[in-house]
Amino acid sequence: KKPNIGLTNWTNSPKGAIRKNDVTIAKNYLNEKELDGLNRIVTMYLDYAEMQAQKGVAMTMKEWVNKLDSFLQFNEKDILQNSGKVSHEVAITLAESEFDKYQVNQDRILESDFDREVKKLLDSKKK
């Protein structure tokens, strides 16, 4: 079992609670190096798309898909050839099911902001 049910990033991480919607976002499972690579490739492609728009180049969605495939190949990235064996719905259901198991323990051990502030207040009154 991995810590944080395998998540490496989530809203308000690392101290914030993991929420159900966090487990359904694929990039939340990437390590720091993978996330940096994803951010860079997305930025490059969006810059390219913006330049195309500024030049007034009109393209269909099919043309954009082909451009994206070419862009990824140029950047030596693998391109998925099919949709795989697990559907999106099955993956979401599995992730949410694992979260439900995890949440029981998380709720028990996670100190809320309210609890933290009450503790500070009580500690300051003791002094």
- pLDDT for the residue 63: 96
CB-based contact 17:110 (threshold 8 Å): yes
Determine the pLDDT at residue 110.
Answer: 66
**pLDDT at 26 exceeding the cut of 80:** yes
Widest CA span of the chain, in angstroms? 69
> CA quadruple 32, 37, 38, 42: dihedral positive or negative?
positive
CA 55 to chain centre: 32
Average pLDDT over residues 18-32: 93
Q: Which residue has the tokens 């503790």?
A: 119
CA distances from 109 to 15, 59, 100, 127 (A): 12, 52, 15, 27
What's the pLDDT tens digit per position in 90-121? 999 999 999 998 888 777 666 676 777 888 88
Domain limits for position 52? 3-126
DSSP code of 18? P
Buried b (16+ CB within 10 A) or exposed e, 63-80: eeeeeeeebeeeeeeeee
Say whether pTM exceeds 0.85: no
Per-residue pLDDT at 111? 66
Q: How many structural domains comprise the chain?
A: 1
Query: What is the mean predicted confidence (pLDDT) over 76-93?
Result: 88
The mean pLDDT of 45-49, rounded to a whole number, is 96
